[in-house]
Amino acid sequence: MSLPEVFSLLDDPESTIQFLDDLVTYSSAESIRHITFGAKHCKNIGLDALVTMSVLVLRAERRRKNQNTLTISGTWPDDLPIQIMFKASGIPHHLGLPEAQLTPEQEKLVHRCELYKGTAVKLRIALARQRNEATEQLRKYFDRCLNTVGFALTREGKTRLDKLISEVIGNAEEHGGPWNTIGHWQLGESGEGKRYGVCHIAMFNFGNSIYESFLTEEASPTIVEQLRSLSDAHTNRGWFELLKGTWDEETLWTLYALQERVSRFTGLPGNETRGNGTRDIVQFFLELGNPGTMCIVSGHAYILFDGAYGFKEVERGNERLNVITFNKSGDFEDPPERKYVRRLPRAFPGTMVSIRLTLDERYLMQLVGENNG
């Protein structure tokens, strides 16, 4: 199997999901006992795609452990930084292959937050323990990334990041199915000797997509009514027909689910504060990155945050809320710009939150100055 030239859910979700779908097909076929991955010509590899590939192969290995064992081999990417990432945080590392070992010099360039797996179990105590462990791992990892370029999270920053990560993982738990977290950092060096590096974080679950979660009996009738009203508006305006193939109800509902105070539990007893996590985590990471990019892939829906569109405060009833529409009108009854929000031809079997940001010493120094330290 040849990996696509751009193997990244963040940068090319269509080609990446096509490859992952093929991988599921081949790894599930009992007649296939060996898979060769060709990564030689990869020019861009994302942690989101690497970890999904790893989890799919590991699941196939466990399923076929005692009979028709699955083995793998492959070629490394020609590009050295991509090769380092592939070895350090990709399938060779997760399988413990000797070939995945980095040289001592290369190891100094890398920080990992190792793959952490959680399960959708019914015992809340077990859920809280798994979520807290994964949250602590990711927060410590991100602080190490900052340390590498001479900065650190404040006590308030640690508390805020813990809350944000915990909420994203909590959403994954509620959608059912196993969930995973992972991080990879790679140091670079600018021409003027200032330190910088690229921080990758992926948090994802296999289970219901965001859209599917609104179709369950547990979903808030209040929010579902709003969503159906929006669908009617787009149908009546002809948007679904005019933009058929790139815009549909699933993508619309997924976009609306990211708005402040919107979740499938909104309006239900004890859930008055739900629905702020996505906005907050986007703002937290993208403000620190130069550049910073994040995407959400859920089912057939793809949503990209790169700073071109931000959350804006609007009046709704008696309160002011932050919303993001990804269009010039600022109206949810108009479709978003396709580059940022679109329907994918093939579905991701759950929800992926993928974050990639460059932490640059000069840029962070500027931020510190603007915020008086």
Rounded Cα distance, 236 and 22, in Å: 37
The residue with greater pLDDT, 320 or 358, is 358
| Preceding omega of 349 cis (within 30 degrees of 0) | no
pLDDT in tens, 62-88: 887 667 788 889 999 999 999 999 999
Mean pLDDT of 344-353: 96
Query: What 3-state class would DSSP assign to 14?
Result: helix
Instruction: Give the separation between CA 35 and CA 69, rounded to whole angstroms.
Output: 11
One-letter amino acid at 19 equals F
Band (264; pLDDT cuts 50, 70, 90):
low
Q: Does residue 309 surpass a pLDDT of 50?
A: yes
Average pLDDT over residues 258-278: 61
What local confidence, expressed as pLDDT, does residue 29 receive?
87
Q: What digits encode the pLDDT tens for the residues 44-56?
A: 999 999 999 999 9
Q: Are 186 and 108 in contact (CB under 8 A)?
A: no
pLDDT of residue 125: 54
274: pLDDT strictly greater than 50: no
Q: Which two tokens stand for residue 253?
A: 């509902």
Q: Are strands 292-305 and 44-45 parallel, antiparallel or unpaired?
A: unpaired
Of 55-59, 162-166, 173-177, 181-185, minimum mean pLDDT range: 173-177
User: Secondary structure of 218-282 in the HEC alphabet?
Assistant: CCCHHHHHHHHHHHHHHHHCCHHHHCCCCCCHHHHHHHHCCCCCCCCCCCCCCCCCCCCHHHHHH
Percentage with pLDDT > 70 across the chain: 90
Per-residue pLDDT at 272 exceeds 60: no
Q: What average pLDDT does this structure show over 152-171?
A: 91
User: What number is the average pLDDT over the span 177-202?
Assistant: 86
In Å, how far are 10, 96, 150, 205 from 170, measured between CA atoms?
A: 22, 30, 31, 11
The secondary structure element, H or E, covering residue 368 is: helix 361-370
CA 332/CA 208 separation, integer angstroms: 24
The pLDDT of residue 147: 95
Q: Residue 92: name the closest of 140, 119, 58 by CA.
A: 58
Kindly give the interhelix angle for 277-288 and 155-174, rounded to the nearest 10 degrees.
130
Above pLDDT 90, what percent of the chain? 65
Q: What tokens were used for 36? A: 């060769």
